[in-house]
């Protein structure tokens, strides 16, 4: 959605929200398994980072360039992190820290929400829109 090497509409809006959203109390979360593919301007505008295991040297270098608070010591630990471990840095912590994230105790699942059913159970249908609910 915010590729490094090409212009897209989503990249424009992600960059704008990253630069200006804080003024309006808007937060944003960028998630990627390949940080080096992300737009550097958007990545550098994030105040907080939660960095899980990274092994690829180019990803490590890219994250280091976008994270002024990431020390060489913490950077060297990234390839050896276990599942559920992360380096957290930014305004949400006083100092960059290595943390363990608890496992999710609820039901893990995925899938697409049934939007039509959600809308049907949601309440009022405007006059003339009844046919929009037909599947």
| Domains in the chain: boundaries | 9-103
pTM of the model: 0.68
What's the pLDDT tens digit per position in 79-124? Answer: 999 999 999 998 889 999 899 988 888 877 777 777 787 777 665 5
What's the pLDDT tens digit per position in 103-114? Answer: 888 877 777 777
DSSP class of residue 38? B
Q: For residue 32, what are the contacts with CB-CB under 8 A and spacing of at least 6?
A: 38
* pLDDT-derived band at 129, boundaries 50, 70, 90: low
Q: How far apart are CA 93 and CA 97, in angstroms?
A: 8
pLDDT at 85: 94
**Beta carbons of 22 and 10 less than 8 angstroms apart:** no
9-103, CATH topology level = Rossmann fold (3.40.50)
């Amino acid at each position: 959605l915010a590729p490094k090497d090409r212009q897209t509409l989503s990249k424009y809006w992600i960059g704008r929200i990253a630069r200006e959203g804080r003024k309006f109390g808007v937060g944003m979360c960028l998630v990627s398994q390949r940080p080096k593919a992300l737009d550097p301007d958007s990545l550098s505008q994030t105040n907080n980072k939660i960095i899980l295991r990274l092994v690829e040297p180019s990803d490590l270098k890219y994250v280091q360039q976008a994270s002024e608070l990431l020390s060489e010591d913490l950077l060297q630990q990234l390839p050896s992190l276990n599942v559920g471990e992360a380096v957290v840095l930014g305004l949400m912590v006083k100092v960059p820290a290595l943390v363990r994230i608890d496992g999710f105790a609820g039901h893990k699942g995925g899938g697409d929400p049934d939007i039509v059913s959600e809308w049907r159970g949601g309440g009022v249908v405007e006059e003339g829109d009844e046919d929009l609910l037909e599947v």
